[in-house]
Amino acid sequence: MDPQTVAASLNSSAAKGTMTAEAGRAARKRRPRSDLADLGEDPGRDPVAITAADDADRIQELLPERYLRMSASAFTFYRGSAAVMAHDLGALPSTGIITQLCGDAHVANFGLFASPERELMFDLNDFDETSPGPFEWDVLRLTASVVLAVRELGAAATVAAQRRVAQAAAGGYQEAMKTLALEGELQAWYEHVSVQELMESTTSRSMRKRAEAMGEKAQTRDSASAVKKLTEVVDGQLRFREDPPLLIRLTSLDHDLLAHALATYGDTLQPDRRLLLERFELIDVARKVVGVGSVGTRCAIGLLVGRDNGEPLILQLKEAGASVLEPFTPPVTIEHHGARVVNGQQLMQAASDIFLGWSTGEDGHHFYWRQLRDMKYSPDLANAKLDALEVYSRACGRVLARAHARGGNRAAIAGYIGSGRQFCDGVTAFGVAYADRAEADFSLMEAARAEGRLP
């Protein structure tokens, strides 16, 4: 799906720039802001069946690992079950204000990474489910995830604390969108959040130290550190170090298939970046298990070295299937899901990996490519302090608003939200109620595992 198709798939009036703040306020009739708290009812809803619906197309031997990771907590279950929430959101009334969605905007899918200019940015960093859709869906997924993250903190997770942190996420979104709606097109497009801005966003010395520590940690997570962690030298040859079943070197046949995919992937890069890629040679490949929701999908890493100086580079190849939002969003012609992911990421992120591209495997599966590490880092939310999580959640709301402003009509979104408390109160109430539902769904999944109905 090329950028023109992405733009055409958005709300037509928004794409033409005619959807105004007044049109956004009129959308309150379709979905009043107070109704954002409503979860809806679906007597036939089966979260276990929805979660397992695509298991047949996953690598079967990795399914136990998938459910093991999801079973760690209700929050990790939530992270791995985006399809369940897509089903629930698709059954609700919509504002009809369409933008490019992340599709999986939970709080753990935000973090740091390096821009091509090597500036550390704070932004969204996962776009497997990206698709055009109602803007509020991303906000609702974010606030529910924030509540679940607070509940991970144990004794500190009072109802008041859950609401306060969810309000911070919603408030960060509201404040940023209000500002973005008043900016010019170029100014809004160039908006970004740096680590320095994160440190300046709080008067707390401890918060600034935590932001600085995040930046220092991110700077250690580069290609060189990935090579050090994942490779070894055998008979004078650099190769991946196996760690079954999480990291397994692939056969010569798989190597040839990946080399073929690598060649076609290069055609999707900008000419200067394609030239850079051609200066590297593929020497080893491995299957690598990543994430929570991605476990069982076809993911691999390729070890490349510079043709002249042997400089190592690790690229990651991830399978791209249909977005979980696709059954519930306006019809869009999608010729390649890897392209969908890449174009959605480039539209929503302030800056993207220079090696971001896509390819088709010889078996017909769609993939996208990126560097395995490029100063990419997300904090350990399970060990966060409540005040830090509140600041972090506000920053997540802010960058989500900036991403939506790039992919949709910020005036209409701001018009719908308004300047009062109705929007924040509505999505906060939804977040608390949906976290309860996610915990109940998690219990159902655990029961299914105990009964042998899931791996």
* Ordered DSSP codes for 87-151: HHHHTS-----EEEE-S---GGGEEEEE-TT--EEEEE---TT-EEEETHHHHHHHHHHHHHHHH
The average confidence (pLDDT) of the chain is: 89
Here the tokens at position 198 are 């994160």
Three-class SS state of 311: coil
Residue that has been written with the tokens 């976290």 in this structure: 435
Beta sheet of 120-124, edge-to-edge order: 110-114, 120-124, 193-194
How many angstroms separate the CA atoms of 435 and 136, rounded?
17
Residue that has been written with the tokens 């089903």 in this structure: 87
pLDDT at 23: 92
For the chain, the first-to-last Cα distance in angstroms comes to 35
Strands 237-240 and 231-234: antiparallel
> Is the pLDDT reported for residue 20 higher than 70?
yes
Which residue has better confidence, 160 or 16? 160
Quickly state the pLDDT bin for 195 (edges 50, 70, 90). Answer: confident
Here the tokens at position 163 are 């609401």
Dihedral sign, Cα of residue 220, residue 117, residue 359, residue 405: positive
Q: Do residues 295 and 64 touch, judged by C-beta distance below 8 A?
A: no
Quickly state the pLDDT bin for 376 (edges 50, 70, 90). Answer: confident
pLDDT at 333: 82
pLDDT digits (tens, 9 = 90+) for 397-449: 999 999 999 999 999 999 999 999 999 999 999 999 999 999 999 999 999 99
pLDDT at 6: 40
**Mean pLDDT within 108-125:** 86
78: nearest Cα among 59, 49, 51, 53 = 51
pLDDT at 367: 94
> Is the pLDDT reported for residue 210 higher than 90?
no
> Is the pLDDT reported for residue 34 higher than 80?
yes
pLDDT digits (tens, 9 = 90+) for 254-266: 777 777 788 889 9
Here the tokens at position 227 are 């090579």
Which residue has better confidence, 437 or 379? 437
Question: What contacts 62, CB < 8 A, 6 or more positions away?
Answer: 245, 289, 295, 296
Residue that has been written with the tokens 């701001």 in this structure: 414
- Among 199-203, 348-352, 355-359, whose mean pLDDT is lowest? 199-203
Q: Do residues 286 and 249 touch, judged by C-beta distance below 8 A?
A: yes
**Mean pLDDT within 368-397:** 85
